[in-house]
Structures are given as structure tokens and as C-alpha cells.
Structure 1
Amino acid sequence: MRLSGLQKEVLGLYRQCLRECRKKPEATRNHFQTFAREEFDKSISLDKRDFSAIEFLLRKGRRQLEMYASPGVKDIRK
């Protein structure tokens, strides 16, 4: 199956999130992974042709990733 450019971007962002999780303390790493999974799951039912919503969520996700990737962030809580 071939993926569209947007699908590749979404998968790339998810992989980047998981890579950043590995840089966090082992005790809290699971919190970051769970948070990332839940954030992506929220939009799983989004129509894949809703480009504006997907692009918005990608921008939002990149901003969140940048914020949580900061070395000062040791844990994430809901």
C-alpha cells in the first residue's frame, strides 16, 4: 500500500515522538509513550481527506513535541 505525503508526515511525527520518549528517564518513559499514543488515537477517526485538520494537528503535534522534548521536562501528567 502506498502512503500519501500527509500519511508519511503523520507516521514520521509519531516515530519522532517515540524516539524522544527514549531520551526521558526510564521511570517516566512509559508516561510519555502513553501520552503520545493517546494523542494520536484521539484523531484516528479523522477523514484522511480532511487536509486542513490534519495539517493543523501536525503543527500542533510538532509544537507539543518540541515542548516536551526539552531536557527540563522529566515527566508528563494528565
Structure 2
Amino acid sequence: MPKRLSGLQKEVLHLYRASIRTAHTKPKENQVNFVNYIHEEFGKYRNLPRKDFTTIEHLLRVGNKKIATFSHPELTNIH
């Protein structure tokens, strides 16, 4: 039986999926740059303790702001 996810884990997963969806709205040749950036950003905090709620909540807020920025059509590439 699969392990149930907490509310915070669901939010992180939602943020990750939304980030990938946003990356796929960008020009085809630049999508890989966005996806790599997303993987790097999430990978930085892969070993963050599950009980570190304040840090996770902060990172969720920052991540949502980044998605809002990246979703602008003027932004076509990321380095």
C-alpha cells in the first residue's frame, strides 16, 4: 500500500508539477533549460528534513513566486 502524503508534501508535489507544466509552455528549444533549472532547484533541498516546516513553507512561497515570474510570455529562456 502506498504511503499517504502529508498536506505539505502534496503542496510540494503540486508546485513541482506546476513548474514542469510552465516549462512546457516555453519555446521547444528552451524547455530543456527550464526543466533542468527546476530539477536543480528541487534537488538542492532533497535532503531537507520533513519536519522543517518553516523552511518548506518558505520555499513553497518562493517557488510560487518564481512560477508566476516564469509564466510570463516575455520570458522565453533561462540560464
Per-residue CA distance 1:9-57 (angstroms, 9 max, x = gap):
0000000001111100000000000000100000001000000000000
- Using the aligned pairs only, state the percent identity: 42
Structure 2: runs of 5+ lacking an equivalent: none
Match of 2:15 in 1: 13
Q: CA RMSD in A?
A: 0.4
1:37 aligns with 2:39: yes
Mapping of residues 1-78 of structure 1, within 5 Å: 1-77=3-79
Structure 1: runs of 5+ lacking an equivalent: none
Taking structure 2 as the reference length, what is the TM-score of the superposition?
0.96
Q: Which amino acid aligns with 1:35?
A: Y
More helix, by proportion: 2
Q: Which amino acid aligns with 1:6?
A: L
Taking structure 1 as the reference length, what is the TM-score of the superposition?
0.97
Instruction: Give the Cα–Cα distance (whole angstroms) in 1 for the partners of residues 4 and 72 of structure 2.
Output: 34
Runs of 4+ aligned residues of structure 1 deviating over 2 Å after TM superposition are: none
Paired positions, count: 77
